[in-house]
Structure 1
Amino acid sequence: MKASDIHGRDLYLLEQAPFAVVPLGSFEYHGPHSPLGTDIVLAEGFADLIDPSLGGAIYPTVPYTACPGKTNKYKGTLTIRPSVMQEYLIDIVVGILEQGIKKVILLNAHDGNMGLSRTVAEYVTGQHTDASILLVNWWQMVAVDDAKEIGFEGTKGRGHGGPFEMSAVKAFRPDLVEVEQGDEEFKEQTPLSDHPYILVEGTPVSWDGYTGLIQQISEDKGRKIVHKASTNLNELIKNWLY
């Protein structure tokens, strides 16, 4: 159920909800082929695919957040200072807990929200020891090694504005992704290590506000991605609840 549709006389529905979902987006440049609301589309799209029989209350998507310098320099991006965003998200989560819901999913569609979400979750659960907060980045619901099965050739497809992300957007809103013949593509760089790591650069290599072999974007690939991600998301939620 959508929390914003609940009437004042029916607030007991929130108290009875086993969990709440806060979709986290951004308003950010994703390349000439992609909408500024890419992360909003994805956050809302995956929230709507959560099994309604689980009884969750879906809260409105947070549309604005902190964006990294590498996209903030492009026109179209609207960024919120990280300190402000952190306080804002704390207030949202605490407000939900005060409605009587003790389990909250932060369903994230923006890389820049990852650190903020973790900090907020750790802080809030420290203050509210009966709370449980599940952080989910939708793209991590699909294994990186599934690229070949999805249909990508010579690439894993991952990356900001790349074929993995934008194919998923195209599955939800095929009208919003438009790759033209002359749009520049960027080959993937050789990883520094086989082990997980995070590298932050002001001006990354193979980058112009987006990355990847974007000519491989397709609605068919997007449907496969969305199916895998939503299936695994629902399985994760069930395991968390029960």
Structure 2
Amino acid sequence: MTSPEIGALDRAATVVILPLGSVEQHGNHMPLGTDTLLAQAVSLAAAETAGDTIVMPPPWYGFSAHHMRFPGSITLRPETLIAVVEDVVASVVTHGFRRILIVNGHGGNNGVIDVLASTLGHTHYGAARIAALTYFALAREAIAKLRKSESGGMGHACEFETSMVQHLRPELVKIALAETTYPDPGSRYLTTDLLGAQAIRLYHDFGDLSPTGTLGDPALASPEAGKAFFDAVTSELATFIANFRFWTIPERRP
């Protein structure tokens, strides 16, 4: 879009999405940019469905310290990622947009977006409503209905992510190199599954969990499964956008 096209948008109705992801290892068979690629693709498709929604270019890198034993992985410090997003959002608010949604596609960013949702909400209170979500957590129930793997089979470069990239960018998936890994997280209080609920917070180095960096079962992936997953998560996000568009923006009080 051009600057005049942005300037002509309805500030009251338009939702602005900032996708976040990462550049990090995704096993032997998946591209480093998988998380950002998927977050952007899901955001664009949901925006088209929801209408009156624009998607900003993603700042490709995220917090990926737990992947740094694998070549090609890049990590920002949490404070760096927070600062980048704070500056981007402040720019958008300066131009009068009132509803901004951070769509995250990387589990390692979860703590960061929790902080951002609170700090940005406080900073721009009265001017804008800002929300943050991880798209596969939002669509947890829909994904669970489609999965074929048992618990542990959907974690990283797994049935879910491999299928999604096979659907969107099949030329980037070297499926013949994929290896299945069901790691033992070491305690019943811990899980490596994408849809698992875990109350405990700790550091898990992926090099300790899997020699290839894969957590789960990419052997169950297919482009057809990827389309089903993609349609499900896109639908959930579009439904949320439609709801978010009408959230009240409180007035700042002295």
Same fold (TM over 0.5): yes
Matched, 1:196 2:198: yes
Task: Give the counterpart of 1:134 among 131, 134, 140.
Answer: 131
Aligned-partner Cα distance in 1 for 2:174–2:77:
31
Kindly provide the CA deviation profile for residues 95-136 of structure 1, in whole angstroms up to 9, marking residues without a partner as x.
111111111110111112211122122112112112212212
Aligned residues: 235
Matched, 1:60 2:57: yes
Q: Percent identity?
A: 24
- How far 1:13 sits from its partner (Å)? 2.2
Aligned-partner Cα distance in 1 for 2:28–2:197:
32
Q: CA RMSD in A?
A: 2.4
Aligned-partner Cα distance in 2 for 1:183–1:36:
14
Aligned-partner Cα distance in 2 for 1:54–1:144:
24
Asked whether the 8 Å contact 1:17–1:57 carries over to 2, the reply is no
Change (3 A) 1:153 1:122: closer
Matched, 1:106 2:102: yes
Residue in structure 1 matched with residue 148 of structure 2 by the alignment: 152
Residue in structure 2 matched with residue 186 of structure 1 by the alignment: 181
Summarize the alignment of residues 37-76 of structure 1 with structure 2, pairs less than 5 Å apart: 37-52=33-48, 54-68=51-65, 70-76=66-72
Asked whether the 8 Å contact 1:145–1:156 carries over to 2, the reply is no
Asked whether the 8 Å contact 1:40–1:61 carries over to 2, the reply is yes
Asked whether the 8 Å contact 1:19–1:56 carries over to 2, the reply is yes
Aligned-partner Cα distance in 2 for 1:51–1:9:
17
Amino acid at match of 1:228: A
Summarize the alignment of residues 31-42 of structure 1 with structure 2, pairs less than 5 Å apart: 31-42=27-38
Change (3 A) 1:128 1:173: same
Q: How does the TM-score come out when normalised to structure 2?
A: 0.82
Task: Give the counterpart of 1:240 among 241, 244, 247.
Answer: 244
Aligned-partner Cα distance in 1 for 2:21–2:116:
16
- How far 1:81 sits from its partner (Å)? 1.6
Aligned-partner Cα distance in 1 for 2:231–2:137:
13
SS at match of 1:49: helix
- How far 1:31 sits from its partner (Å)? 1.0
Asked whether the 8 Å contact 2:179–2:214 carries over to 1, the reply is no
Aligned-partner Cα distance in 2 for 1:67–1:102:
30
Matched, 1:208 2:212: yes
Change (3 A) 1:155 1:219: farther
What stretches of structure 1 of length at least 5 have no aligned partner? none
Aligned-partner Cα distance in 2 for 1:166–1:64:
20
Change (3 A) 1:173 1:201: same
Aligned-partner Cα distance in 2 for 1:138–1:127:
24
Aligned-partner Cα distance in 2 for 1:216–1:10:
42
Aligned-partner Cα distance in 1 for 2:34–2:149:
23
Change (3 A) 1:188 1:66: closer
Aligned-partner Cα distance in 2 for 1:10–1:135:
22
